[in-house]
Amino acid sequence: MTATDLDAAAPAVDEAGLLAGFEATIARSDRIEPRDWMPDHYRKTLIRQVAQHAHSEIIGMQPEGAWITRAPSLRRKAILLAKVQDEAGHGLYLYSACETLGVSRQELTEMLIEVKQKYSSIFNYPTLSYADVGTIGWLVDGAAICNQVPLCRTSYGPYGRAMIRVCKEESFHQRQGYELLSTMMRGTDEQRAMVQESVDRFWWPALMMFGPPDDESPNTEQSMAWGIKRNTNDDLRQRFVDMSVPQAEALGVTFPDPELRWNAERGHHDFGQPDWDEFMQVVKGNGPCNTQRIAHRRKAHEDGGWVREAATAFADKQAAARRQEASA
């Protein structure tokens, strides 16, 4: 058989037709499912985004997890434990969604601990007081909600469905943070000062969570055309600021931004820009806690090696027993 014969024997792949079908699905705002044909670049973009999201949930357990043993009461400890455990669950849904794109959990974990994939810059900042647990719930989970609610309608089915459940839990996280801070604000002067100090530290990093400004965000346009992203970084950042200002007023705290004011003409708050150089440094691995976060994750993965080996050995044993039963 010649190469030409082989070509003739293979079923013709109608790339143009497949692409047209994919684009029609996106145009109808229908979901793309794992077995559907999709452009390679769409698959790669999604793997990058969903993996980054899954890694953020898992690394995000660390800053707050550090306070579980130091919670000021049994009630606070129970709330924090449940919250951190939810984040582990979010990581698992998202890793599963990512696996449907043809990449394994093992590969994803390796890419995280070998620093080949990123996670949210916010988790590279330290938690210095218990008020940070409240501030993270209020502002960091609040920013995550702004980012994630539109993702419930993202074009890739498994990602969108994971987001629906994640968002319900994130809303609990935000409320528990706000409730903790409002309790502290009704406490002593020291407690109020602790809340304000924490908000001052987390405000700008929370604004950075939406990513760089639109004109410096290389992936936004394509991601929006594919229905992966539904809003731009700057739109979401504005939405977050508008949502947070009245909450801060109700709480009795201020944000460390002298440019923050209501603009009646725009119907939105004007606000200053975060330090984007600092953001780039944190993204590049030079934030206050990058090394510590990855080292901790790597150690946890290595420490869990025996569990994975035992589970694999048990599964092999069961499969061998089933084979023997079938052949008997």
Structure tokens at 204: 């700008």
Nearest distance from C-beta of residue 125 to Fe ion, angstroms: 16
Contact flags string 170-189 toward Fe ion, x per CB under 5 A = x--x----------------
Q: What is the DSSP letter of 156?
A: B
Q: Which of 32, 45, 58, 87 binds Fe ion (CB under 5 A)?
A: 87
Nearest distance from C-beta of residue 285 to Fe ion, angstroms: 23
How many amino acids of this chain bind Fe ion (CB under 5 A)? 6
User: Is 60:297 a contact under the CB 8 Å cutoff?
Assistant: no
User: Is 87:58 a contact under the CB 8 Å cutoff?
Assistant: yes
Q: Which residues are bridge partners to 249 per DSSP?
A: none
Q: Which of 90, 192, 229, 293 binds Fe ion (CB under 5 A)?
A: 90
Q: Which of 63, 141, 156, 297 binds Fe ion (CB under 5 A)?
A: 141
Query: Using CB under 5 A, which of the segments 88-96, 117-125, 247-255, 279-287 binds Fe ion?
Result: 88-96
Q: Which residues are bridge partners to 262 per DSSP?
A: 269
SS3 315: helix
Can you tell me the distance from the alpha carbon of 153 to that of 53, in angstroms, rounded to the nearest whole number?
A: 16
Nearest distance from C-beta of residue 246 to Fe ion, angstroms: 22
Q: Residue 99 or residue 141: which is nearer to Fe ion going by CB?
A: 141
User: Is 148:170 a contact under the CB 8 Å cutoff?
Assistant: yes
* Dihedral angle over CA of 205, 209, 210, 215, nearest 10: 60
The residue written with tokens 């994971």 in the block is 162
Nearest distance from C-beta of residue 298 to Fe ion, angstroms: 21
Nearest distance from C-beta of residue 45 to Fe ion, angstroms: 21
Nearest distance from C-beta of residue 141 to Fe ion, angstroms: 4
Structure tokens at 85: 């455990």
Q: Residue 169 or residue 257: which is nearer to Fe ion going by CB?
A: 169
By the criterion CB under 5 A, which residues form the site for Fe ion? 57, 87, 90, 141, 170, 173
